[in-house]
Structure 1
Amino acid sequence: MTKKECLRRLGANIRRIRESKGLSQDKVCLEGGLSRATMSRIESGSVDVQAWTLFRVADTIGVPIKKLFEFDLSKE
């Protein structure tokens, strides 16, 4: 798996978790101190997100950070 694909899957998983909790991007951005553009880039997998940002996202959506990484890396 390429770095780009890994980031895309991470972002898709973050979006899935956020939506499953009924949270909008705007709410997560406001409470997590992120710009909407940054959150959009994270969820689309177009940015190599820093660990601290992932901690803030996880905290804001109310999950342990390890939950953000619970996706299958072997899928094509």
Structure 2
Amino acid sequence: MDVRQRIGWNLRRLRVAKGLSQERLALEAEIDRSYVGRVERGSENVTVGALEAFASTLEVDVSAFFAELDPGAPRPLALRAGRKPKAH
């Protein structure tokens, strides 16, 4: 796994753990949603500025995106599709 894939895997893992969709992460980090998807797939050379924005939004240190991966770990699950119900 190359560095771009590691960053993407960790970004997805952290995003899902926070319960954020790609769209919500992009909105809060002020980054294009399609860019988030490309970073998660490991097909984008992510910038330091984007990593800082992701880290700030996810409330983690930038180093979390470079964490070693367990080779046997399953891919982070996708969030349930659709909008959250409105709170009454």
TM-score, structure 1 length as denominator?
Answer: 0.83
Query: May I ask how many residue pairs the two structures share in their alignment?
Result: 70
Partner Cα distance (2:7, 2:65) in 1? 7
Shift of 1:17: 0.9
Asked if residue 31 in structure 1 is aligned to residue 28 in structure 2, the reply is: yes
Stretches of structure 2 lacking an aligned partner (at least 5 in a row): 72-88
2:63 paired residue among 54, 62, 66: 66
Q: Which structure has more helix as a fraction of its residues?
A: 1
Aligned mates of 2:7, 2:46 — CA distance in 1: 10
Structure 2 Cα separation of the partners of residues 71 and 35 of structure 1: 27
Q: CA deviation at 1:10?
A: 1.2
After TM superposition, the runs of 4+ consecutive aligned structure 1 residues lying more than 3 A away are none
Give the counterpart letter for 1:33 in structure 2: E
Task: Give the alignment's TM-score, normalised by structure 2.
Answer: 0.73
| RMSD of aligned alpha carbons | 1.3
2: distance between equivalents of 1:68 and 1:9? Answer: 7
Residues of 1 paired with 2:49 and 2:9: CA distance?
A: 19
Larger radius of gyration: 2
Aligned-residue identity in percent: 36
